[in-house]
Each structure stands twice: as structure tokens, then as C-alpha cells.
């Protein structure tokens, strides 16, 4: 098992059982057992910052968003405009860091060592991005978005901490949203409030926090986080540890299939007999077809899998397993997506940034 930094985590509104991965910028992941609810409470939701958290705003409704670049009519809208001029929508959608699972790559990949908890599923309220882009009107050459937020790098340079984008087709799909609400409350500042993007199914880095501007581009965006090995996978497999040629890498889009065991907790002591194992599974742009659970890594038992509440929701699952009478036991859960792709035992497609590692989650328990 990978050890994460062993410092206490203290942040207003956050559970102190979150695991701190980095303090400058602030990054923390959620232990799988804190993902046991259908909808992840804000107190349990992971945090990923690449820069400094911007100062909290006193008048959130006056926050402005500019849409420019390859559009017929550039727009500047306040959050109030977004709330009153368009119909609002609430959807349950997974947000997952592109580096989730990175800790299991061998040799070690660079970046925060996420285990399985760089993920959460919240109810996001806002407006469909497509409606606002339609009002601006895309030009013929519009093909990519460029997202800008109010955060500067931790070293105080004069550039955005992160600026990623997506193909225009993804930005225009009905689940891509400009979001101001999380789980029925105003979007917390730490999660990008007053306004952020949620681009579901793709690496979390596309979901810009503290969103101030979307520039429509006529080519793949090249802001911080778009180039080199950032959020990219090799087109053909590398030998693990190899540097690789950035020209032979492509942007990571849909996240791979994954499942987490949310009950029992790793290290739990349980009575012999039967035990309900529970978790969640999701698969980027796709749905999950099945989840199987195993006590020995050889025999697999099908779990009961619930449908998503809406597209891009995670799917909760459960299985009743029969435990040995005493001693250590390891529970594994393996998800398979609608295309028949299953999670591997070890992360495959090694890459220097450690993206897309979706190895099977294992939980060790003590019986008796
Ligand atoms: N402005 C801004 N937006 C950002 C980031 C950032 O550093 N700055 N990090 C991104 C990354 S890498 C992830 S995984 C998600 C995490 O969102 P959360 O902190 O709300 O969980 O935000 C994304 N949006
Ligand atoms: Mo991320």
C-alpha cells in the first residue's frame, strides 16, 4: 500500500480525515471509505489546486465571465446574468483528477501520488455551457476552448496557474456546465466558487475553477497544462521509465473505467460470516456494465449495480460476500465499462506524468 503524507489536514469546512498530498499548492485526496454516500458531501470532496487560492469575493453575483476568441459576438456576463438569463440545471456528475491512481505506477511517475481518492460525485447546479456558446455564436474555425481562472501560480508568476481546454464538441455537449452550486449550496470557494466549469468524464483539470474567461480557439489550446507530457498519454506504449517523445503523445480525453470500495474501510475489523461490500464505479464518457468482487483475485462474484441518476453520475454497487472464519482478507473490486474494457491489476500504459492509472482497488480487512 502506498503511504501518503502523514500530516493532519485542517481546512475550514473539510473533514480532517482527508489525506494531504501537498500544501503549496493545496492538494488532498479522499479516503475511499469517505466516498460511501451516493452524493459526496463538500466536506469529503478532494481538492486539487495548481496555484494560489484567489481571495474570496464579497459579491459573488457580480463575478464576470468573458467569452471571446472565435465567436461572432463576444460576451461579458455576470454570475447574476447567468442565473437569470438561462434555465438552470442540476446534474450528478463525477469529477476525477487525471492523475487519480498515479501512486501505483512503477517506476514512480512525477506528480502528486493520488491513490484512489482523487474523485467525488456531487450535484452541480448551473447553466449548460452550450447555451452560452450558442448566444456568442461560434465562427467556422472554432475548434477548441481555452479556460482561464483567477488563480496565479504558487511562485507568483504573471500567468495563469493552469489553462486547459477541450474540443469544441465536448464543450457543446449538454452535460458541460458553468456551475455555481454544489449539493444545493453556493459553490464553495475552495471548489472554484463563485463560478467554475464542470466538463464531466474528462480529466478534472478541464473543469476550470474561479472561471473568468473562455477563449474559443481555432486550434488545440496550448496553455499551461496542455503541452509536453501534461494530461497526455503515449500513442504507443512506452517501456516503463522511458522518457518518450512528446510528439508521440495525445491529449487524455475520456477517463478510464474505475471502481472504489467504499465499505468496509481499509484496515477494518469485521466479524466472520457474511459482509456487505459497497462502492461506486464510473467510466469517463461511458457507462459501467458490471462490477465484480473477489476475495482471492481468482474467483469473481458479480455485484448488484445501480444505473446512474443521469449520464456522468457514478454507479453505486453492492455485493454480499462470505468471509473466511478468521485472519486477514483482501477484497478487490473490478469494473468493466460498456465497451467491455475492465480494470487491470496494475496500471498499464506507463507515462511520465502518471495519467490514466486505473488499477483495481483492494481493501485489506481483519476477520474475527
Ligand atoms: N483555476 C483552476 N482550476 C482548476 C485547477 C487549478 O489549479 N486552477 N485544478 C484542476 C484540477 S487538476 C482538478 S483535478 C480539479 C479539482 O477540482 P476540486 O479542487 O474542486 O476538487 O480542478 C481543476 N480546475
Ligand atoms: Mo487534476
DSSP H or E run through 65: strand 64-69
User: What's the mean pLDDT in 151-167?
Assistant: 94
Please give the model's pTM, rounded to 2 decimal places.
0.97
Confidence of residue 156 (pLDDT cuts 50, 70, 90): confident
189-202 per-residue burial string, b: 16 or more CB within 10 A, e: under 16: bbbbbbbbbbbbbb
Return the ligand number nearest the Cα of 119. 1
For ligand 1, atom 12, name the residue with the nearest CA: 205
Tell whether the model's pLDDT for residue 4 goes beyond 90. Answer: no
Per residue in 35-62, pLDDT (tens digit) is 999 999 999 999 999 999 999 899 999 9
- The closest alpha carbon to 91, from 298, 357, 308, belongs to 308
Extents of the domains making up the chain: 19-251, 258-367
State the distance from the centre of ligand 1 to the C-alpha of 100, rounded, in angstroms: 13
Q: Best mutation site among 30, 150, 189, 204 for ligand 1, i.e. most ligand atoms within 8 A of its Cβ?
A: 204
Assign residue 13 a region (left: φ > 0; alpha: ψ between -120 and 50; beta: otherwise): left
Q: Alpha helices of the chain — where are they, by DSSP H?
A: 79-85, 129-136, 168-171
The reply to whether 258-367 shares the fold of 19-251 is no
Residues above pLDDT 90, as percent of the chain: 94
Q: What's the confidence (pLDDT) of residue 5?
A: 54
Tell whether the model's pLDDT for residue 3 goes beyond 50. Answer: no
State the distance from the centre of ligand 1 to the C-alpha of 97, rounded, in angstroms: 8
Per residue in 243-267, pLDDT (tens digit) is 889 999 999 999 999 999 999 999 9
Fold of 258-367: Immunoglobulin-like (2.60.40)
Confidence of residue 6 (pLDDT cuts 50, 70, 90): low
Side-by-side strand order, sheet with 361-367: 269-270, 361-367, 327-337, 288-294, 301-302
Confidence of residue 2 (pLDDT cuts 50, 70, 90): very low
pLDDT mean across residues, the chain: 96
Q: How far apart are CA 255 and CA 261, in angstroms?
A: 18
Residue that is written with C-alpha cell 506504449 in the block: 237
**Residue-level length of the chain:** 368
Return the ligand number nearest the Cα of 161. 1
- The closest alpha carbon to 47, from 259, 207, 158, 177, belongs to 207
The DSSP secondary-structure symbol of 231 reads: T
Per residue in 209-246, pLDDT (tens digit) is 999 999 999 999 999 999 999 999 999 999 999 988 99
- The closest alpha carbon to 301, from 275, 325, 283, belongs to 275
Task: Characterize the bridge pairing of strands 64-69 and 211-217.
Answer: parallel
The yes/no answer on whether domain 19-251 falls in CATH 3.90.420.10 is yes
Amino acid at each position: 500500500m502506498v503511504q501518503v503524507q502523514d500530516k493532519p489536514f485542517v481546512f475550514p469546512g473539510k473533514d480532517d480525515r482527508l489525506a494531504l498530498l501537498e500544501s503549496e499548492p493545496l492538494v488532498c485526496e479522499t479516503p475511499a471509505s469517505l466516498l460511501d454516500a451516493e452524493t459526496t458531501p463538500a466536506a469529503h470532496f478532494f481538492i486539487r489546486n495548481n496555484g494560489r487560492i484567489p481571495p474570496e469575493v464579497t459579491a459573488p453575483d457580480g463575478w464576470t465571465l468573458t467569452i471571446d476568441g472565435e465567436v461572432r459576438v463576444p460576451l461579458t456576463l455576470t454570475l447574476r446574468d447567468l442565473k437569470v438569463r438561462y434555465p438552470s440545471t442540476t446534474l450528478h456528475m463525477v469529477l476525477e483528477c487525471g492523475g487519480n491512481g498515479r501512486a501505483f505506477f512503477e517506476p514512480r511517475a512525477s506528480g502528486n501520488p493520488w491513490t484512489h481518492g482523487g474523485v467525488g460525485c456531487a450535484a452541480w447546479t448551473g447553466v449548460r455551457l452550450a447555451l452560452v456558446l450558442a448566444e456568442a455564436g461560434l465562427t467556422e474555425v472554432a475548434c477548441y476552448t481555452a479556460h482561464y481562472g483567477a488563480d496565479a501560480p504558487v511562485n507568483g508568476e504573471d500567468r495563469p496557474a493552469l489553462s486547459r481546454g477541450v474540443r469544441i464538441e465536448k464543450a457543446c455537449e449538454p452535460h458541460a456546465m458553468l456551475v455555481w452550486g454544489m449539493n444545493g449550496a453556493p459553490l464553495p470557494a475552495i471548489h472554484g466558487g463563485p463560478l467554475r466549469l464542470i466538463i464531466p468524464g474528462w480529466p478534472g483539470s478541464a473543469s476550470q475553477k474561479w472561471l473568468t474567461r473562455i477563449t474559443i480557439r481555432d486550434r488545440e489550446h496550448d496553455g499551461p497544462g496542455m503541452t509536453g507530457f501534461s494530461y497526455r498519454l503515449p500513442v504507443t506504449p512506452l517501456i516503463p521509465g522511458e522518457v518518450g517523445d512528446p510528439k508521440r503523445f495525445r491529449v487524455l480525453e475520456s477517463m478510464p473505467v474505475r471502481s472504489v470500495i467504499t465499505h468496509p474501510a481499509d484496515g477494518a475489523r469485521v466479524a466472520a460470516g457474511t459482509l456487505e461490500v459497497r462502492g461506486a464505479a464510473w467510466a469517463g464518457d461511458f457507462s459501467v456494465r458490471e462490477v465484480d468482487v473477489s476475495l482471492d483475485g481468482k474467483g469473481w462474484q458479480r455485484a448488484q449495480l445501480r444505473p446512474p441518476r443521469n449520464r456522468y453520475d457514478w454507479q453505486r454497487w453492492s455485493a454480499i460476500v462470505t468471509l473466511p472464519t478468521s485472519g486477514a482478507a483482501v477484497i478487490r473490486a473490478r469494473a468493466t465499462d460498456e465497451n467491455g474494457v475492465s480494470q487491470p491489476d496494475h496500471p498499464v500504459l506507463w507515462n511520465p506524468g502518471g495519467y490514466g492509472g486505473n488499477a483495481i482497488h483492494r481493501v485489506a480487512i481483519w476477520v474475527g
